[in-house]
Structure 1
Amino acid sequence: MPSTTPDAPEPAPAPAPGAAPAEAFAPEEYPWVGPAVRSALLLSDGVVDLDPVGGVPAPTDELSETLVDVSAIEQALAAEGVAPLAERTLVVAVGSNQTPRTIARKYRRAGGGVPVATPFVRCTVHHLAVGHVANVAAPGYVPAAPYRSEGAQMELVATWFDDAQLAVIDETEPNYARVRLSAQHHPLTLATGAEPAHFDVYASQRGVLADGRPIPLRHRQQELFDELVALTGAELFIGDAAEVCARLAARPAALAELAHEHELVTEDGLHRAREAAA
């Protein structure tokens, strides 16, 4: 198995006395996923990269061979003494939950007793796209949310959580409902070669931002804020993204109010098999 990568989930160093704490997850930089999705294993001693050297040449479902050896994942989970894949829930992430760094931070904040080992596997999902929740997160950024888009094909990350981990992640998603989608409506191909019959996603409970149709995820909050200025004319969104995030954090209801006033909210259109069990 590949060696541990340098981005192991270690806490940031403590700030000097009197200094402001460093913000490793600056709100204006959401969703913090970097240039591309990847397959990885979050383990107790760091992150193991599962992608081949040199990267991935094509979408997961167009490759002639599997990218990730599921037996290697099972061996790693067994070595950590945690639940195997069969006892975990498959969740496809659309925002920052695609990264081991974000999930490791959520486990740390939950305190002791939460097992760390978590597989992250790239995947191709059909008829699913990613937009923005019509609401702000507590730090002031506008988070991602899935929506149905006929004919769309996206490369995302599927994550397997055990029951304790899933309870932690559910708790961190107050603006979402974890719902189950069927492969009948949203075909899914994992980098392991598997094509599961269903999977969970975190769907917005506030609708998604739309200008006639859902606004696709902007990978810089600045791009979204500039777009919202054009759509609403509101001074709230004018300026540097960090400043706008600070304003939104101080006025958490303002985005939803403006979005409804300007009719910039729509349903996500997802074919929910059911709401996933907590």
Structure 2
Amino acid sequence: MAPDPRSLAALGLTRDPVAYPLTYPGRLPAESGLLDGDRFLALRERTGAFPGGWALDAATTLDDLLRSRGAPPLADRHPILAVGSNGSPAQLRRKLAGHASVLLPLTYATVRGLVCGVSAHVSGPGYVPAAPVRVGGATGRLVVLWPDDAQLSVIDATEPNYHLLPLPGTVTVSLDGGAPLAGCRLYAGRHGCLVDRDGDPFHLTGQAELLTALLADLPGLGRLTGARDPGEFAARARRDPGLRERIRVLWRREGRVLEQPELSRKETPS
């Protein structure tokens, strides 16, 4: 039997950053689609139509397939802007498998007023993850994931270093260049974002490139970790929770952390 061309393996989407830290944020799909277990089914976008009406094939819309599988249609799901690895099918499959249905729509959107920055902490797998940074005038294309209630609960449990917040008022997310997407949220970092020695925010790149830049920007980081290259950094940080915390403290002590009040949780007065 010929291999399924829509399988994650055939599409080169199987490596998740938890298992392969230097692949962070993971490979993104080439187009909008539906993560369906070990497959990724491409969607044909329709101008002016809500994504639930986008076509999977000549006879089937996204909502048709979701309903046929007993899953909520898109209008009953939660649009979440993916700034880091939540746009990666492999990472999402890892998070959901065994805990919730691995049937999850992903749609590309135009984002204005925000870029993918870098969180001022090191994750358990040893990579330095993404965090949103508000930048006026910035425009880019990011993935919006659409979990149902159960999927969102599972994903939320994997995000202890982030708050799930509404988009800042200066940030818009639109599908197919249309009106802003109502109700869209994002995971904002609890630790602030990393800036370089000139105070400019780091932008998310491939992990090896990013770690090389971080080690060059702050020589004390290399001395603290004993890492001479990205592979050593990730391996040592993965093994040692205490080292991850010392790195976080170093960045803050050296003035490399940007706080963003508009991307912080608003506490309810007591």
Q: Normalized against structure 2, the TM-score is what? A: 0.80
Instruction: Pick from 164, 171, 178 the counterpart of residue 164 of structure 2.
Output: 178
Compared with structure 1, are the counterparts of its residues 192 and 186 closer, same or farther at alpha carbon in structure 2 (3 Å cutoff)? closer
More strand by share: 1
Instruction: Tell me if structure 2 keeps the 8 A contact 1:28–1:141.
Output: yes
Deviation at 1:207, TM superposition (A): 0.4
Give the length in aligned residue pairs: 245
From 198, 213, 216, the counterpart of 2:200: 213
Show the counterpart of 2:26.
32
Describe the shift of the 1:138–1:144 C-alpha distance in structure 2 as closer, same or farther (beyond 3 A).
same
Percent of aligned pairs sharing the same letter? 35
SS in 2 for 1:260: helix
Determine helix, strand or coil for the equivalent of 2:64: helix
Unpaired runs of 5+ residues, structure 2, are 11-15, 54-60
**Which structure is higher in RCO with an 8 Å CA cutoff and minimum separation 6?**
1
Q: 2:184 aligns with which of 196, 199, 204?
A: 199
SS at match of 2:146: strand
Aligned-residue RMSD, C-alpha:
2.9
Shift of 1:51: 5.3
Stretches of structure 1 lacking an aligned partner (at least 5 in a row)? 10-21, 53-63
Distance 1:187 1:122, change over 3 A: same
Counterpart CA distance in 1 for 2:51 and 2:91 is 24
Are 2:252 and 1:260 equivalent residues in the alignment?
yes
Query: Per the alignment, do residues 273 and 79 of structure 1 end up closer, same or farther by CA in structure 2, a change over 3 Å counting?
Result: farther
Aligned to 1:160: 146
Q: Would you say 1:247 and 2:236 are equivalent positions? A: yes
Q: 1:228, CA displacement in angstroms?
A: 2.0
Equivalent residue letter for 2:251: A
Q: When the two structures are superposed, what TM-score results if normalisation uses the length of structure 1?
A: 0.78
8 Å CA contact 1:225, 1:237 repeated in 2? no
Deviation at 1:25, TM superposition (A): 3.4
Counterpart CA distance in 1 for 2:92 and 2:256 is 31
Q: Tell me, yes or no, if structure 1 residue 93 matches structure 2 residue 82.
A: yes
